[in-house]
Amino acid sequence: MKIALDPYMLRRTPLLELPRAVADLGYHHIELSPRDDFLPFFLHPRVDKSGVAAFRKALASAGVEVASVLPLYKWSGPDEDERQAAVRYWKRAIEITVDLGVDVMNSEFNGRPERAAESEAQFWRSMEELLPIFEREGVRLVLEPHPDDFLEDGIGAVNLIRGINSELVSFLYCCPHTFHQGGNLAEIIRYAGPLLTQVHIADSFDFRASSGLRYIVNPPGSTARIHQHLDIGQGEVDWDGFFGSLNEVGFDGIATVCVFAWEERAEDSARYNLSQINQYQQRHS
């Protein structure tokens, strides 16, 4: 299993200093999530060829590799102009990923849950344009259902990915989204089987608990999705069940620490979660 760090809590670290900062925390891999100076959220990439080359040099110097590149675009939104723009952004992001020497990208379904059928149709339009590019470049695409996407259920997401029918497209299980995916962590992991190639590791509380009042959101009846990305052990994810299920299906992909809750102690959080993963791996290997 390749353990990576999502360095979002370190996003104010200059790009060329980021690899050394990650190495100093004990990680050898990065999942490169959105940054304003590289791949911003929902906008066209900002980095040029020389910037990519300089970043590659900094990575090599620090002994760190990019395990996966994570762009987020509105490629399934019901607005067609936004979808077309997102496809343009994806095409450039794929070029950057190839120039980095990376062959894995991961992202979310996006779209709108209240317009799920329209959003899924937009997703397929985007895939028709982008899948041939992924195949031509030999870049794998790993997809996850995110809270407030057009598809949020874990089993449903696995079924949709199977429908894409490409060896290059697989499934990402995100632990902090466990309770928005159905709460059936072990079932989803087993159901995905070899289609599961990447996981996101952070803890979260079960928003459905206490008769649905674990969180009180005003006004009542709000459709807001609420979850956290906490340190392992601070929430209610079944970590023995998670690591045991990974072992059961023979998972050997990318495991990314993606805790966002503690920017004031980002380095301590990164070290702690790496230690916890190693302990759980030893327990369940």
Arithmetic mean of pLDDT over the chain = 95
Question: For residue 51, what are the contacts with CB-CB under 8 A and spacing of at least 6?
Answer: 15, 38
CA distance from start to end of the chain: 11
From 194, 105, 106, 104, select the one nearest 144 (Cα to Cα). 106
H-run or E-run covering 196? strand 196-201
pLDDT attached to residue 262: 93
At 221, the pLDDT band (50, 70, 90 cuts) reads confident
Mean pLDDT (whole number) for 10-25: 97
**pLDDT one-digit tens code per residue, 45-81:** 999 999 999 999 999 999 999 999 999 999 999 999 9
pLDDT attached to residue 251: 97
Mean pLDDT (whole number) for 189-214: 91
Question: For residue 147, what are the contacts with CB-CB under 8 A and spacing of at least 6?
Answer: 177, 180, 225, 227
pTM for the whole structure: 0.94
pLDDT attached to residue 227: 86
How far apart CA 141 and CA 157 sit, in angstroms, is 14
Q: Is 25 a residue whose pLDDT tops 80? A: yes
At 260, the pLDDT band (50, 70, 90 cuts) reads very high
Q: Are 14 and 266 in contact (CB under 8 A)?
A: no
Q: Are 172 and 200 in contact (CB under 8 A)?
A: yes
Q: Is 117 a residue whose pLDDT tops 80? A: yes
